[in-house]
Amino acid sequence: MSTGADCHFVERGPGKWYYSLQDWPYGDWPEYQTYGPFPSLEKAEKHLDDNHANPGGWSIHHYKDNK
């Protein structure tokens, strides 16, 4: 089961991954906690998996797309 929280993985530089996870309660003015840096997307996903409930989905933004 997923929480429905908003979650975004962002590579802010080559090999510098972060993710922002929406705080409970979810609403019109959501607050987020940001975690990282991680050396890879896989490590960031593992940290999310090991430490938080399943948000149900997320967006992924690679550094090359953010230039």
Residue 65 has pLDDT above 70, yes or no: no
For residues 8 and 21, give the distance between their C-alpha atoms in angstroms, rounded to a whole number. 7
Annotated domain spans of the chain: 7-66
pLDDT of residue 56: 86
Distance CA(14)–CA(51), nearest Å, equals: 24
**pLDDT digits 0-9 by tens, 13-56:** 999 999 999 998 777 767 999 999 999 999 999 999 999 999 98
Query: Which band of pLDDT confidence, cut at 50, 70 and 90, is reported for residue 67?
Result: low
Q: What is the pLDDT of residue 52?
A: 95
Position 66 scores a pLDDT of: 61
